[in-house]
Amino acid sequence: MAKAKAGGIAGDQLESIIQRIERLEEEKAALAGDIREVFAEAKGNGFDTKILRQVLKLRKMDKADRQEQDAILELYLNALGMID
Amino acid sequence: MAKAKAGGIAGDQLESIIQRIERLEEEKAALAGDIREVFAEAKGNGFDTKILRQVLKLRKMDKADRQEQDAILELYLNALGMID
Amino acid sequence: MAKAKAGGIAGDQLESIIQRIERLEEEKAALAGDIREVFAEAKGNGFDTKILRQVLKLRKMDKADRQEQDAILELYLNALGMID
Amino acid sequence: MAKAKAGGIAGDQLESIIQRIERLEEEKAALAGDIREVFAEAKGNGFDTKILRQVLKLRKMDKADRQEQDAILELYLNALGMID
DNA sequence: AACGTTGAAATAGTTC
DNA sequence: GAACTATTTCAACGTT
């Protein structure tokens, strides 16, 4: 009900939420721009961006894979009553 | 060898590039997390996140095309129980 | 009215497209149901669905990882002028 | 040991479960591919896939809530150049 | 039964 | 402008 009338508290809250998110998204977009620049620079130095992306992707997957391995190990140990 | 760099100086460069990008992506991911938090908080305060996203989207489009603004506004007012 | 000038070729085509997709989606939904059943049955036999899902996920990631590895290898070989 | 099955008969069961699910998921993925093809074909015939998806979505909702139908209809007719 | 989490689907953006 | 990739959105699942 608090939010029933416009211009009320809910209106202020809404405005605040929107602004905070828009601010964060600006920063995020700026970082995306920085990343693009690094790629462009790398390309200028003769690196193949496609390969670069593939390397990055693989490293990310490896990391995720390791985390999965740990998670499943823990899950099994847990199921066997060996931890927790 | 100019094209497909490997080893030596190029190896150092490659490492640097990878690290810089991974660092920037971490920061980007952190911001994405912050944004998620704001949404979660808003939700906790009774806002409908789906509609919030529509509002954000519309505001972004605005610079280019304001046409759907009335529709989304009505949608949001409706969600807030301000109009039937 | 809809197909207003309906009866036109576009109307027929549209109808056909919609129906084909809806049919395929029904089949897809049926498969999703089958999968759910297998999980339920497994659970009934004492298996932990969470672990099951984790195993499935890991197997999928392993496969994807292998594909990535192949892709990057090819990319490198290509960059070195060793294939194609 | 009943809870956390491993080895022997349970191992066979586990393998069977995993295989059945992976098989079903393959079929599901194949259907998703078929659907994508239909969309691609429709696109080739001049249909707007985005609007097609909206139509599908609306038809699905219909059983529960027909409210937005008019809007999407106008949208689609417009896309087909039948109005405005 | 709502909540957060996670996986799939869709859209947007980028590159060639 | 077509294909590919990245991001965002949506829906399902398990959890509390």
Condensed to tens digits (0 to 9), the pLDDT of residues C38-82 reads 999 998 888 889 889 988 988 888 888 888 888 888 888 887 777
DSSP secondary structure code for residue A55 in this structure: H
Q: Does B4 sit within 8 Å of C76, measured CB to CB? A: yes
Cβ distance C71 to C65 under 8 Å?
no
How big is the B-C interface in CB pairs under 8 Å?
5
Chain A touched by B18 (CB under 8 Å):
yes
* pLDDT surpasses 80 at A83: no
Touching B (3+ Cβ pairs <8 A), the chains are A, C
Helix axes C49-79, A49-79, angle to 10 degrees: 160
Query: CB of A59 within 8 A of CB of B18?
Result: yes
- Residue C76 touches chain B, beta carbons under 8 Å: yes
Between C63 and D3, name the one with better pLDDT.
C63
Between residues C1 and C58, the one the model is more confident about: C58
CA angle C27, C33, C34 (to 5 degrees): 90
Residue-wise pLDDT tens digits, A29-72: 999 999 999 999 999 998 999 889 988 988 888 888 888 888 88
Q: How far is D1 from chain A (nearest CA, A)?
A: 8
pLDDT for D21 equals 94
Cβ(D83)–Cβ(D74) below 8 Å: yes
Could you tell me the residue ranges of all domains in chain D?
10-79
Cα separation of the two ends of chain D: 71
Nucleotide nearest to C60 (CA to C1'): E7
Better pLDDT: D49 or D2: D49
pTM listed for this prediction: 0.76
What DSSP string describes C57-81?
HHHHHHHHHHHHHHHHHHHHHHHTT
| Shortest distance, CA A76 to any CA of chain C (angstroms) | 7
Report the candidate in C82, A21, C73, A15 with the shortest Cα–Cα distance to residue B3: C82
Specify whether the backbone of C83 is left (phi greater than 0), alpha (psi in -120 to 50) or beta.
Answer: beta
List chain D residues with CB under 8 Å of A76.
4
